[in-house]
Amino acid sequence: MSSAPPERQNTSTRFRLLVTGGGTGGHTYPALTTLRTLQARLAARGAVVEALWAGTENGLEARVAAAEGIAFAEVATGKVRRSGNPLGMLTAQNARDMARVPVGVAQARSIVATFRPDVILSTGGYVAVPVGIAAGLCRRPLVVHEQTVRLGLANRVLVRTASRVAVSSPSTLDLLPGGVRERAVVTGNPIRAEVLSGDPLKAVEALDLDAFHPDLPTVYVTGGAQGSVQINDLVAAALPWLLERANVVHQCGPANVEAMSARAAALPAHLAARYRLTGFVGPELPDLLALADVVISRSGAGTIAELTALGKPSVLVPLASSAGNEQAHNAARLQEVGAAVALAGEVTPDRLCDAVAPLLADPARREQMARAALDHGRPDAAERLVDVLLEAAGWPL
């Protein structure tokens, strides 16, 4: 087990952070938010963060690093295609990918030895494994961050040798191996600072929502950046019922706008005025979240972090194919504490309406759920994770 170096009186003005993790936005954006928070913290002290991101050449992390001006180093990695039957994992494709892991470890060891980071932040994804192994080989402190309730496959490998383990939910602590819990801390899942400063009036202006009924609650429906056919179909079937009771902003995904527009074309004029369909929500997302009284969405880790930090009542439709069924676990956890309604299993339009109806009809019910969500939100997650990084690196907080 590696351990953090003892805290020192740091006189350097340069802090070296190696970031690894990616493949999806759920791994990539918390790392980016944490890096930006660390930069702001140390800039106030007159120190500079020198950052390097180790990832896959074709992964989302490579595109994000390029767009953000972050130095990037490629690491080879392989993806384990899981199966309910262990024999189903014995495939030629899995064998080829696993053969790339030693290559990735060698690359990662060279990167770590050359860069000599003060600390390494791993946010998961397959690329994190070779970098995490290299951290141990080079005796550099490793901080592992888990976004979901249950550890992802990569983090299950890395937590045993990590200096510190940061988790997003207290529920995760009980799922950690006994020897790991003493090095674990609940930080929450970092979210972008701008998400917390939305203005509902700006959403009305940006999305041209002047025709919305001022006395009705507003529902924001989203299936993520690409949309969700399942959620789109549910909402389309329930749309007349919903619009009798609420205004609806529906982010359906760019590829689904035409089909959804056709399905909404038959709405009566007074209901159509309460429906705003959009393929993608960009910079106006914080303002839209501020406007929304209820959110219907998937239950990925990033979504859960934003909804709880903002205290938004939600009806969650987990993605059944998410790795390790993590979205179902996320949704179930929020439902247990009264912070959301989780629709697991087969979801019908009637089930969706039954879940949303009490929230639309009763402002007090919405307020109760909002308070429960806030109680489990951690808007300061990025700052908490920065504390863990500095502590692991031996820098003063």
321 band by pLDDT with thresholds 50, 70 and 90? confident
Predicted pLDDT at 183: 97
Domain 193-375: give its CATH architecture. 3-Layer(aba) Sandwich (3.40)
Write the pLDDT tens digit of every residue in 352-364. 999 999 999 999 9
Write the pLDDT tens digit of every residue in 127-144. 999 999 999 999 999 999
Backbone angles phi, psi at 44, to 5 degrees: -65, -20
Write the pLDDT tens digit of every residue in 155-182. 999 999 999 999 999 989 999 998 999 9
**Is 310's pLDDT higher than 60?**
yes
Average pLDDT, the chain: 92
Least confident of 32-41, 80-89, 197-206, 256-265: 80-89
78 band by pLDDT with thresholds 50, 70 and 90? low
Contacts 24+ apart (CB under 8 A), 160-164: 160/1, 161/1, 161/2, 161/132, 161/135, 161/136, 162/2, 162/122, 162/132, 163/2, 163/3, 163/4, 163/119, 163/392, 164/4, 164/388, 164/391, 164/392
Predicted pLDDT at 94: 53
Predicted pLDDT at 76: 92
**Is 237's pLDDT higher than 90?**
yes
Contacts of 87 (CB under 8 A, 6+ apart): none
**Residue ranges of the domains in the chain?**
14-191+380-393, 193-375
Task: Annotate 269-306 with DSSP letters as a single string.
Answer: HHHHTTEEEES---TTHHHHHHH-SEEEE---HHHHHH
Nearest to 181 by CA among 200, 199, 203, 159: 159
Q: Do domains 14-191+380-393 and 193-375 have the same CATH topology?
A: yes
**The domain over range 14-191+380-393 is classified in CATH as 3.40.190.10:** no
The pTM (predicted TM-score) of the whole model is 0.86
Contact 394, 10 (CB under 8 A): yes
Predicted pLDDT at 2: 43
Write the pLDDT tens digit of every residue in 274-301. 999 999 999 999 999 999 999 999 999 9
State the Cα–Cα distance between residues 168 and 353, nearest whole angstrom.
30
Contact 387, 393 (CB under 8 A): no
* SS3 of residue 198 by DSSP: coil
Contacts of 202 (CB under 8 A, 6+ apart): 284, 287
State the Cα–Cα distance between residues 139 and 126, nearest whole angstrom.
21
